[in-house]
Amino acid sequence: MPDDGPTPLTGRRLLVGVTGGIAAYKAALLVRLLVGDGADVHVVLSRGARAFVGPTTFEGLTGNAVRSEAWEDVPDATHVELGRTADAVVVYPATAHTLAKLAHGFADDLLTTTALAATGPLVLAPAMHAEMWEHPATRANVDVLVARGADVVGPATGPLMGGDRGVGRVVEPETVRDHLVTLLAPGADRTPAAVPGPLSDVRLLVTAGGTREALDPVRFLGNRSSGRMGFAVAEAAAERGADVVLIAAPTDLPTPAGVRRVDVVSARDLDAAVRAHEGAVDAVVMAAAVADFRPEDTLPTKWRRTDGPPTVRLVANPDVLAGVVERRGAAPRPVVVGFAAQTGDLEAAAAAKLADKGVDLLVANDVAAAGIGFESAENAVLVLHRDGARRDVPRAAKRLVADVVVDELHTALRRTAGAQDGTGA
Ligand code: CTP
């Protein structure tokens, strides 16, 4: 019986896989919470998990037998039965090794065979050392699992095994329980933004599109930016759970799901909107093509042909990006991402611009290259980090390029996390 009346977990059949990390002891607390909600919980321990916890605790908590190997109940085909009938499979904690096995469909123990037979949602709570979490192999495995629809909850930042601190700590049992409640609620929205993702504690400000500087009521100075790159970044971040405000210069693009949009027209409007939001965010991504100059005067009435060719004097607009960097000063947040549209030697120009602008991350693209960049659905970029790390993204759909940019931003945010809370974590 549930402790406090029915919840979306009452009567649900949940499979909790426990794998071999020090956080395995916390799985007992998770199981206790789920049983308290009235769920029928079945626990499967990996071989590694048995080095940390034993089956007796889980059998006592759930009233169900705890198994590890696929061959323990061959006639009953336990793995198929458990997988098919589970309303959700949760792996808590999920080690790097188990993530790798799940990503590639390995089935060498009861947990992985069951996961292959399962048809319901798969929830993974990774736990490992920061270096392992950040390793490209783990990043790639997580990307594969997320692309296949798995929900990755965490990891959190905090103390790790062996006295270290950093990202890689398993999220608290309550977080996973709350996630399951959202996931299994009747009529639950299964769009990615509705459930916590790896960026669920990140607030992001993205600017996109080309600003317009009015000459008269019907004419403006503009540029060829379509806004697609910035919109794709906003969408990719929101899908990973970030809280995203998108400041959009004029464009017909639809607002990505889960994103809050603020429409602006000119560089000065954009500057004001950025100032209004920058203090409340962890990162600012400046993908907008901001006009460097505007007409000194905007005519109140339409300039007519019979008035003859006008002479337009231009004055400088604020450098919005420079303003964000300047106001941030020595503080670690917001992390600032600049975009640079370059021609000529991309690498040299990008490195110079990174230093010049004082940004944490610079995304440079060669606007002279055929078929990419402005007004195109594709792009190819070079991402440079302040500490010298770099990533080349060959020509691909802007949405895929945006995924990589968001990955790199996630890395930059993790790097500054220690400076942020002053603990070195
Ligand atoms: N940017 C800005 N405000 C401006 C101009 C540009 O915030 N008035 C930001 C853009 O959003 C982008 C980066 O600066 O992130 C673009 O830099 P770049 O295209 O190189 O433009 P400039 O800084 O103007 O450099 P240059 O004129 O030397 O090419």
What atom of ligand 1 comes closest to residue 322's alpha carbon?
A: 7
**Model pLDDT, residue 188:** 62
Query: What confidence tens digit (pLDDT) does each residue in 151-191 have?
Result: 888 887 767 777 777 678 898 999 899 889 888 887 665 54
User: Which of 11-25, 189-203, 311-325, 372-386 has the weakest average pLDDT?
Assistant: 189-203
What residues does each domain of the chain span?
A: 13-183, 203-419
With beta carbons less than 8 A apart as the criterion, state whether 240 and 192 touch.
yes
Whether 64 is catalytic is no
**Domain 13-183, CATH 3.90.1300.10 — does that match?**
no
Q: Quick one: CATH architecture of 203-419?
A: 3-Layer(aba) Sandwich (3.40)
How far is the CA of 394 from the CAs of 106, 276, 383, 398, 409, in angstroms?
Answer: 30, 35, 11, 11, 18
Q: What is the mean pLDDT of the chain?
A: 88
Distance 323 CA to ligand 1 centre (A): 12
Q: How far apart are CA 359 and CA 353, in angstroms?
A: 9
**Model pLDDT, residue 3:** 55
Query: What confidence tens digit (pLDDT) does each residue in 61-92 have?
Result: 999 999 877 666 655 556 577 788 899 999 99
Give me 259's structure tokens. Answer: 């994103």
Give me 372's structure tokens. Answer: 């990419």
pLDDT at 349 over 50: yes
Of residues 74 and 5, the one with the higher pLDDT is 5
Query: What confidence tens digit (pLDDT) does each residue in 105-145 have?
Result: 998 889 998 898 888 899 999 999 888 988 889 988 988 88
**What is the best residue among 269, 278, 292, 409 to mutate for testing ligand 1's pocket, by most ligand atoms within 8 Å of CB?**
292
Q: Is 100 in the pocket of ligand 1 (CB under 6 A)?
A: no
**Model pLDDT, residue 418:** 53
Stretch 291-307: mean pLDDT:
96
Q: Is 286 in the pocket of ligand 1 (CB under 6 A)?
A: yes
The residue type found at 300 is P
Of residues 2 and 248, the one with the higher pLDDT is 248
**Dihedral angle computed from the Cα positions of residues 143, 147, 150 and 156, in that order, rounded to the nearest 10 degrees:** 30
**Model pLDDT, residue 195:** 52
Q: Given pLDDT bands bounded at 50, 70 and 90, which one contains residue 423? A: very low
**Model pLDDT, residue 237:** 95
Distance 291 CA to ligand 1 centre (A): 8
Per-residue 3-state assignment (H helix, E strand, C coil) for the chain: CCECECCCCCCCEEEEEECCCCCHHHHHHHHHHHHHCCCEEEEEECCCHHHCCCHHHHHHHHCCCCECCCCCCHHHCHHHHHHHHCCEEEEEEECHHHHHHHHHCCCCCHHHHHHHHCCCCEEEEECCCHHHHHCHHHHHHHHHHHHCCCEECCCEEEECHHHCEEEEECCCHHHHHHHHHHHHCCCCCCCHHHCCCCCCCCEEEEEECECCEECCCCCEECCCCCCHHHHHHHHHHHHCCCEEEEEECCCCCCCCCCCEEEECCCHHHHHHHHHHHHCCCCEEEECCECCCEEECCCCCCCCCHHHCCCCCCEEECCCHHHHHHHHHCCCCCCEEEEEEEECCCHHHHHHHHHHHHCCCEEEEEECCCCCCCCCCCEEEEEEEECCCCEEEEEEEEHHHHHHHHHHHHHHHHHHHHHHHHCCCC
**Model pLDDT, residue 76:** 57
Distance 21 CA to ligand 1 centre (A): 47
Percent of the chain with pLDDT over 70: 90
Q: Which of 64, 141, 223, 365 is catalytic?
A: 223
Give me 302's structure tokens. Answer: 């339409």
> Is 329 exposed, middle or buried (CB count within 10 Å of its CB: 0-12, 13-18, 19+)?
exposed
Whose Cα sits closest to atom 20 in ligand 1? 340
Nearest to 339 by CA among 369, 365, 303, 358: 365
Q: Is 339 in the pocket of ligand 1 (CB under 6 A)?
A: yes
Q: Is 336 in the pocket of ligand 1 (CB under 6 A)?
A: no
Using DSSP bridges, classify how beta strands 151-152 and 122-126 pair: parallel, antiparallel or unpaired.
parallel
Which pTM does this prediction carry?
0.60
Distance 255 CA to ligand 1 centre (A): 24
> Is 362 exposed, middle or buried (CB count within 10 Å of its CB: 0-12, 13-18, 19+)?
buried
Q: Given pLDDT bands bounded at 50, 70 and 90, which one contains residue 4? A: low
Q: How far apart are CA 323 and CA 415, in angstroms?
A: 23
